[in-house]
Structure 1
């Protein structure tokens, strides 16, 4: 029953991760579901509108008290995660960083510098890569690459979700020397060239991080590498769509179809998948 709840949360929360994870062996898949159940519930508590800080703080307090006492909390999502954390030897500091980033989202947030973004991304995404490395029992040589993959994927989410984030008072992309004062749609419509150039530069940043992360694939056993590469390719596909038309982020939320995810996973299984590539220099 608990496993079914985890799977339901996962399936409703992320099409890309859910269908990619179907290529994991069953035992690993169950652990991934337990991990995702915990992080998705926490994420929903700070993303669902209107935000309910009391509910998030209660969730965090329940986790912390159960961790300290070593006793079951009574919350099946938290208890399953704690069992996983102990069994796979997650560093509790990773979970604190994750919860810190989620708590950061309780108030409207704008990241003005790359350092601010990277601090947030460490807790919101890089530690997810570290959790996954532990779940797959990878050597510590792989950890930096696993964190980098989480960073790259999260950055594409930031670019893809510009419109949705602005609607709830958030901006995760630092404007820096872009010449832009805002990412509001009404503003960028009068600064089209600057916006297109800005998005191209952010896609290049994602591309550099993704290329670095791919160096770590050699540490992942093939049976685990297939779902990881499948998910990464879907983020690359998302980047391709944005590169073709940066203004698409204001028109619709870009998500790969289920059929595309499964086809790519099968192609990786058969060893015939071509690496996903895109050019951030495509015309807008």
Structure 2
């Protein structure tokens, strides 16, 4: 039985992940809810306006106590620590995740793609590794799991450009903005340099597609009963990328996200073809 608090955190956090996850077998579904609730809670602290820095620090302290065996009473933390123990997560993965979340408090931009990839490892690739452990996948699947995590995160960066600007963040390498003749990614700058902005976004979408293809090349490691929700989430991110690619300026007009009907229809289709 999924804890009601974890259910609420997950449902309010991500429509695509939530409705895709419903197609996992019950035991796996519970574990994914525990994982997502932990990472979503940490992310919410650093994405709040204003940022909840003290609350995030207290969250990290509670996690450290839970890892030492203390029951904290924080269901997102206690459930995650139990999951991490049962599924043998490398503790360094969680440390990398929390370090990247801390960067969202202290770092507003990245100069090179290498600099950004350090952040991406902690914010998204380790989540892919944790998912691989939840599904008991072979270590050979880990490269694909990491690529899927960062590919999906990268689409979020593109989709959420205006929201991240409000938080004082630009996740794309500064040297690439310069290469495309963009001073910044504000709506004013993007519309003033519409062609440059469109070329810049499509370049970033190309990077996403490269990582996505590398991820999907590893789908053969995933048993059929687990592949349906993963392929569905992957398909929804592809749809998001295609939608933005047709008109990059759409990110300033609305948040490009698939409807619940599209997600459920996609899962149904994948059930038939997988």
Tell me the TM-score normalized by structure 1. Answer: 0.93
C-alpha separation between the residues in 1 aligned to 2:238 and 2:253? Answer: 19
Mapped contact 1:101–1:123 kept (Cα < 8 A): yes
CA deviation after TM superposition for structure 1 residue 74, in Å: 2.2
C-alpha separation between the residues in 1 aligned to 2:226 and 2:58? Answer: 35
CA deviation after TM superposition for structure 1 residue 108, in Å: 5.3
Aligned to 1:145: 144
CA deviation after TM superposition for structure 1 residue 238, in Å: 0.3
Aligned to 2:205: 203
Provide, for residues 30-66 of structure 1, a one-character-per-residue CA deviation record: whole Å limited to 9, x for no partner: 0000001100100001001111211100100111122
- Which residue of the other structure, out of 245, 249, 252, is the alignment partner of 2:251? 249
CA deviation after TM superposition for structure 1 residue 107, in Å: 3.2
Aligned to 2:106: 107
Aligned to 1:71: 70
C-alpha separation between the residues in 2 aligned to 1:261 and 1:76? Answer: 28
Provide, for residues 258-282 of structure 1, a one-character-per-residue CA deviation record: whole Å limited to 9, x for no partner: 000000101000117xxxxxxxxxx
Mapped contact 1:2–1:76 kept (Cα < 8 A): no
Aligned to 2:262: 260
Provide the aligned length of Structure 1 versus Structure 2.
271
Tell me the TM-score normalized by structure 2. Answer: 0.96
Mapped contact 1:127–1:147 kept (Cα < 8 A): yes
Aligned to 1:275: none
Mapped contact 1:165–1:171 kept (Cα < 8 A): yes
Mapped contact 2:6–2:75 kept (Cα < 8 A): no
C-alpha separation between the residues in 2 aligned to 1:35 and 1:188? Answer: 36
C-alpha separation between the residues in 2 aligned to 1:162 and 1:127? Answer: 23
**Larger relative helix fraction:** 2
C-alpha separation between the residues in 2 aligned to 1:191 and 1:184? Answer: 11
Aligned-partner SS, 2:233: helix
CA deviation after TM superposition for structure 1 residue 71, in Å: 2.3
Mapped contact 2:5–2:75 kept (Cα < 8 A): no
Residue 226 (structure 1) aligned with residue 228 (structure 2): yes
C-alpha separation between the residues in 2 aligned to 1:144 and 1:90? Answer: 16
Aligned-partner SS, 1:105: helix
List alignment gaps of at least 5 residues for structure 2.
Answer: none
CA deviation after TM superposition for structure 1 residue 2, in Å: 6.4
List alignment gaps of at least 5 residues for structure 1.
Answer: 273-284
Aligned-partner SS, 1:109: coil
Aligned to 1:280: none
Aligned to 1:133: 132
C-alpha separation between the residues in 1 aligned to 2:157 and 2:24? Answer: 27
Aligned to 2:4: 4
Aligned pairs for 1:1-284 (under 5 A) are: 3-67=3-67, 69-107=68-106, 109-175=108-174, 176=176, 177-271=179-273
C-alpha separation between the residues in 2 aligned to 1:224 and 1:30? Answer: 13
